Structure 1
């Protein structure tokens, strides 16, 4: 692909974002408040480069705010105080959105693929999201350098596998808040033996954003009974 073709593709993707009914809407601006400029800049970067860099599919741009940005934002109220770790951060969802919303918190983005860590570095710099640390590796490989008060993940793996990989990263009293779909109760039930092994209890929570949108589902995992 030539530079001209890449540039043309980027222009088309940005134009597609304009068809998203939530892009630059007053409701979204009000929801994000002071963090909106950082979140919007990240959304624009993702629309501009996400497809070319294999971060999102081309059909996702026209629904970027609802399916990805607001969906990621829904987890923020469930993240306890302290260091937040986003495991398998990929495109920066939800970690980059959370970091933009909570600039006073340290957010660690754990991602094994080099091209995605490069993207995360660039996006954090260009969007002015300076409370982010990017760590390359899998969750099970970074236990000596990462400790989390709150762990989140989106579209990474089933709950039982996430717990095996991520529970050793939790500080005392730490929690996990995982973005999941409608099958979350069944997935949580299948993970009950793994949860017991790691001393975790789980619950399924409704995580609303805008009144017009269906709430996101968050699975909360806490230490102790």
Structure 2
């Protein structure tokens, strides 16, 4: 077992998650591709491969207990965080990965092909102008500017009873206060992410009924 697998398994244990050996192997294979492609494509500012395990893999896995049933789209997914991680560990879940950055989408298509990730679709498009003939039960974001921007740019993609699932750092008091009147906060959950300093919160939003 190399240092990356040791660190990942430690994080999974700390998060009290139950992942199969196959799921762990798929996440580690993704990590290997991310490290390799990052050297040429600058997919993430994190350069250290071991730090990537903490700050990208374990951080993304921390929201898995909150991912429910129904098609999911990860908006502004970057190199696939948390969306590709969700697709790798939840083969039963249909996941769309949307980003406007061509290099990041090429990387995601390479991951999809290399690891045979049949339950994910990569969309190279600007979020606010993408108009598919469908909606999603779950919309995730990890590095989106503000909650109100996330809602404004992606609300046309959310199904009537769907949820926005936004990963945030500090408790976003000001961002919540700026949300539009027809959006309600369903839940804000503090997350403890092993190996990561600073506060983490998961914000769940939906349309007011």
TM over 0.5: yes
Offset of residue 139 of structure 1: 1.7
**Residue deviations 1:80-129 (CA, integer Å, cap 9, x gap):** 31100000111111110011111101000011122211111101221232
Match of 1:207 in 2: 191
What TM-score comes out, normalization by structure 2 length? 0.85
Please list, as runs of the form range in 1=range in 2, the aligned pairs for 1:72-111 lying within 5 A after superposition: 72-111=60-99
Distance in 2 (CA, whole Å) between partners of 1:202 and 1:157 is 20
Offset of residue 202 of structure 1: 4.5
Q: 1:75 to 1:24 in 2, by over 3 A?
A: closer
Larger Rg belongs to: 1
Contact 2:183/2:205 (CA < 8 Å) preserved in 1? no
Find the residue that maps to 1:52 and give its secondary structure.
helix
Structure 2 unaligned runs (5+)?
A: none
Offset of residue 75 of structure 1: 1.8
2:174 corresponds to which of 180, 186, 201: 186
Match of 2:115 in 1: 127
Offset of residue 25 of structure 1: 4.1
Q: 1:148 to 1:166 in 2, by over 3 A?
A: same
Structure 1 unaligned runs (5+)?
A: 1-17
Match of 2:19 in 1: 33
Contact 1:109/1:132 (CA < 8 Å) preserved in 2? yes
User: Which deviates more from structure 2 when the two are superposed, residues 143-152 or residues 51-60?
Assistant: 51-60
Q: 1:165 to 1:32 in 2, by over 3 A?
A: same
1:55 correspondence with 2:43: yes
**RMSD (Å) for aligned C-alpha atoms:** 2.5
Distance in 2 (CA, whole Å) between partners of 1:74 and 1:221 is 18
**Residue deviations 1:136-163 (CA, integer Å, cap 9, x gap):** 1122112334521000011121111111
Match of 1:217 in 2: 201
Match of 1:3 in 2: none
Bigger share in helix: 1
Contact 1:71/1:216 (CA < 8 Å) preserved in 2? no
